Structure 1
């Protein structure tokens, strides 16, 4: 483990090891770090620069307060609680109180996450987060029971099998939604814009994480990227080559679909940018310590050889998907179509803790697009705005700016981006919403996907070739890609199940 992360771990345990006359010995018994860390704090105090003594005195007072509260709860709470429960709650509160994406995972939660990232698990196919004590849907995964049932980003899950989730934390709620494949579950849903909650009954399945899905519409390649896992870039490249071969070696362009992509690994986002951008900055990250800040440049080869590219985004496009959309937009390598993205401009690092004590997910940097802008709380604004439905439900959509205590948008250029002058003439004719008679969206029928259909029109116009009346209703296909732990832009704290 990186020494910096090890010291961070040590500081966290030190808070408990010296807090109060009773709490200190208690932690020393339960933690192998207790005595050593208490001595470390004493050493830090003795080595402190002149003028720092008051800071250490205040730290000791706060640690004593923590110990006093611990003892009061331990002794007087209405039901017996274990020391581990109290410490786990304290650690989680320490991290979730910083920003919406930092969190503590117990050993069980960490193990569950590792099972999820292995590529398949039992459940409904939802990514959820905690929002003001409520369970909120971030993303329904492609081809899962949740997506087939019509759950949407921003839905609140208020009950499971007739029992309220009021007062239930995120991990407990997720545990209740998991179960044996083939068993039924009923979720009570509150949706913004609807007066009354409604129930949705689904059957749990083994969820196969299918990162890359692809299809050929005429001579236009379509590739959907559901998340950024360790094999995303290689999967995208293979899918493109297969579609090119299927088209007889000649394509008109590519639609890269990043809608409802919640993010993933930073290095994979950079690698995907390398497939379209040959030189220049892709993304820069700025950490608390300038030595940990970095700029990542493109050193790739354009796999399309300059073909027109349209990137589809929506309010569920977050983090790593925003890095890709922002880089291609800043380099004028693509035309972005859809609605404003989620707006998560931070990077998290997953730090396993020693002694089978789980892990923490810690926000360690902000990121910036090639032009130096931060999209934190703002999102990527599409070049061509196109809604999925006629109803303008943007006010009901969950975005970063709607979450509690988000980190500030700072450090980036404050100059508003200039309107693009290189958009094709068809951009001015694209409607921002479907016509009144447009059919309801059906995942199995691309002809009902209005944003996709408008993207195909843009590709056809840029390539100079006519477009079919509508894309054929054939399922997109592709292979499963595994996930990975490590530095990422993943939109935590959220849980997949």
Structure 2
């Protein structure tokens, strides 16, 4: 009889018995040494696994699993991941300048070409369906992988096959530096400004300030629906534009630097400007910091639905040669009232749908408060179907916040 036998895919027999005896001899001999255990595991896999393995890749994979097990926001990052994170914070990157997503049928759809980007100049339009990138079908690939392919090297052209109105079109577009603005604003009428913050990056406070100074409105609707967050200090600085005193946010963690209270400075330019904040279920993190600061300090009302509820702060910690890093949760934050919104979110002062309960009411409001031509023809969305925007307009008028 063979000294080794197979049972349900498991090797049994003298080899396993020897390994088992060796392991049994080591058990209970002292506390676990994680560093030694990790090194031994890599060494054993490298020596005995049926196929050769790349030890660096194996270690990276193991560390990704280790860090991601902490929470949903902690990550072990490698070169491209670190650069993408920095590009998001800076607001610019080298690429085509396309915002893409999967539709309900898992087709890759262009949601928007970024203004003045290579893609926009080449004629790519919102709604175009991307069929292939550089001759390779997009089907079955992840959104992250496809987004990476749409960036390309600066010296090479990215070839796209797209479908538009049942016609196939081909494009060859050279990547270039793309500036992504985090703030979009339009005057709704002669005294109200709609100001959308799509994410928080280092330039956001300046963008907000410039938009308001340029429009000189009598009231502002700060729209953060769908805003996933971004750079923590940017949210603090935007809040400080509208607050002359009081706590903006406090953070609490194990490291000494993670325990801080951020206070508003006096003399800010917009500290008396009437505000209304719009939130939805996808408003998270830095967006919730700004909303919580304005709400708890009595500076603005919040209109919409319960926000996402991400009440933690992540720090980027470089590792080794700088080609790897940890993005780990180092603190939890509290709103000025001392409340943690982790898993709870910001509760709106005014629930969506309570101001204008039916289409007839919205129709009457639209006829009474016509939008400016610029707002009516904007590319960003269809104002006529944006019920929450009309509720915001109605609230500002009824409360004399023009």
TM-score normalised by the chain length of structure 2: 0.69
Distance of 1:435 and 1:78 partners within structure 2: 70
Which of 220, 226, 231 aligns to 1:265? It is 231
Contact 2:219 2:401 in 1 (8 A): no
Higher relative contact order (CA 8 A, sep 6+): 1
Q: Give the Cα–Cα distance (whole angstroms) in 1 for the partners of residues 347 and 161 of structure 2.
A: 37
Where does residue 216 of structure 1 map in the other structure? Answer: 187
8 Å contact kept, 1:149–1:202:
no
Q: How is 1:38-437 mapped onto 2 (pairs within 5 angstroms)?
A: 57-60=30-33, 62-77=34-49, 79-116=51-88, 117=90, 119-122=92-95, 148-149=126-127, 161=137, 163-165=139-141, 172=145, 174-176=147-149, 178-179=151-152, 183-184=159-160, 208-217=179-188, 218-244=190-216, 251-289=217-255, 292-301=258-267, 303-386=269-352, 429-431=355-357
Unpaired stretches in structure 1, ≥5 consecutive residues? 1-54, 129-134, 152-159, 188-200, 245-250, 388-427, 466-497
Contact kept? 1:177, 1:185, Cα under 8 Å: no
Number of equivalent positions: 332
Structure showing the higher strand proportion among its residues: 2
- Asked whether the 8 Å contact 2:278–2:304 carries over to 1, the reply is yes
Structure 2, unmatched stretches of 5+, are: 1-27, 130-135, 164-168, 367-377
Could you tell me how far 1:63 is from its partner in structure 2?
A: 3.5
Alpha-carbon deviation of 1:124? Answer: 6.8
- Which stretches of structure 1, 4 residues or longer, exceed 6 Å deviation after superposition? 144-147, 201-206, 432-438
> Is the Cα–Cα contact under 8 Å of residues 310 and 334 in structure 1 kept in the other structure?
yes
Cα RMSD after superposing both structures: 4.1
Change in CA separation of 1:303 and 1:265 when aligned onto 2, cut-off 3 Å: same
* Larger gyration radius, structure 1 or structure 2: 2
* CA-CA distance at 1:291 after TM superposition: 5.9
Q: What is the rounded CA distance, in whole Å, between the counterparts of 1:296 and 1:184 in structure 2? A: 47
The 8 Å contact of residues 311 and 341 in structure 2, kept in 1 or not, is answered as: yes
Cross-structure match for 1:248: none
SS at match of 2:94: strand
Superposition pairs of residues 457-472 of structure 1, within 5 angstroms = 457-463=394-400
Superposed CA offset, 1:238-278 (max 9, x none): 1111101xxxxxx3311111122221222221111111121
Distance 1:77 1:173 in 2: 32
Residue aligning to 1:47? none
Between 1:118-127 and 1:222-231, the stretch displaced more is 118-127
Per-residue deviation, 1:118: 5.3
- Tell me if structure 2 keeps the 8 A contact 1:386–1:433: no
Shift of 1:442: 7.1
Output the CA distance in 1 between the equivalents of 2:360 and 2:348: 17
Name the SS of the counterpart of 1:86 in structure 2: helix
Deviation track 1:126-157 (CA, whole Å, cap 9, x = no partner) reads 599xxxxxx9x9xx789589994499xxxxxx
Does structure 2 retain, via aligned residues, the 8 Å contact 1:125–1:147? no
CA shift in 2, pair 1:297/1:354, >3 Å: same
Distance in 1 between residues matched to 2:284 and 2:360, nearest whole Å:
24
Asked if residue 443 in structure 1 is aligned to residue 369 in structure 2, the reply is: no
Which TM-score applies when normalising by structure 1? 0.57
Contact 1:228-1:263 at 8 Å conserved across structures: yes
